[in-house]
Amino acid sequence: MSAGEPEQAVFAALADPTRRALLRSIASGEACTPTELAALLPVSRQAVSKHLALLERAQLVDAERSGREVRFRATPAPLGDAIGWMTAVGAQWDDRLAALGRAVARGHGDAGPA
Amino acid sequence: MDVTREITLPLEPEAAWDAVVDLERWLTEDGALLLEPGAEGELTLRDGETRRATVQDVRPGELLSFWWHAPDALATLVEVRLVGIDDGTRVVVVESGYAGAPVCHADVLAGPGWGPALLRLRGAGELVPA
């Protein structure tokens, strides 16, 4: 199983600790506007906006614009997909390592099927 | 971003290494890798998927690593590490690099890895109705 585009976007978005911190703050309800978020984290408001754009592109947050205010909320569905994908990759390695264990149990000289 | 899985084999690291590098006995249906950095190979896995692989590092008894990718997908790094323990050898597989290796590696070094971070985030996300 290899990562499709949506998973890649989610992984790329979450590869940065600032973006993870932003998402956590938004999801927990601590803050939801770029100004509030910039006050919470040691980064400029401009940097916050850049990071939020990336999170929005990965569909991890949703922006609601009302007048001059932009409020963000977390939309966790793509996170679930990414976790599902990682779980599947892990399950594949479980199967492969189990096959390695069986091959070793059969003994080194024997390359026959299980 | 990484996925880590492991198994303990009742073998000394040297014997475990021989088993691990014999890919056709556990990983591939068809295809093997020459054990030298830069060697390339076309692998057909046991579930029928295919990967183009490039060997990165070979340290007998310790580490085999290679980059691989499915057709039209980004490459990930697979590291198979062997660690001798009292009653055998622990074989640890880490597949990483989904979001670009450099960032990923820094992150792996800095924390307990990606799985837990993702799960925590998801937990937080569920507090807010989508």
Find chain B residues with C-beta within 8 A of A1's C-beta: 49
Model pTM greater than 0.80? no
Could you tell me how many CB contacts below 8 A there are between chain A and chain B?
134
pLDDT at position B100 over 70? no
Alpha carbon of B12 to those of B4, B16, B87: distances in Å? 22, 6, 8
Strands (E), chain B: 2-9, 28-30, 40-45, 50-59, 63-69, 76-85, 88-96
Alpha carbon of B7 to those of A84, A111, B11, B85, B102: distances in Å? 22, 20, 12, 12, 27
Classify the complex by whether its ipTM is higher than 0.90, answering yes or no. Answer: no
pLDDT over 90 percentage in chain B: 62
Which one, of B51, B21, B24, B14, lies nearest residue B36 by Cα?
B21
d(CA A100, CA A83) in angstroms, rounded, equals 26
Residue entry with tokens 């992984």: A11
Alpha carbon of A50 to those of A22, A38, A43, A62: distances in Å? 11, 12, 11, 14
CB contact under 8 A, A104 and B16: yes
Which tens digits make up the pLDDT trace of B18-60? 999 999 999 999 988 999 999 999 999 998 999 999 999 999 9
Confidence of residue B67 (pLDDT cuts 50, 70, 90): very high
**CATH numbers and ranges of domains, chain A:** 1-105 (1.10.10.10)
Q: For residue A91, give the chain B residue with the closest CA.
A: B5
- Higher per-residue pLDDT: B109 or A113: A113
Which tens digits make up the pLDDT trace of A18-35? 999 999 999 988 889 999
CB contact under 8 A, B3 and A93: yes
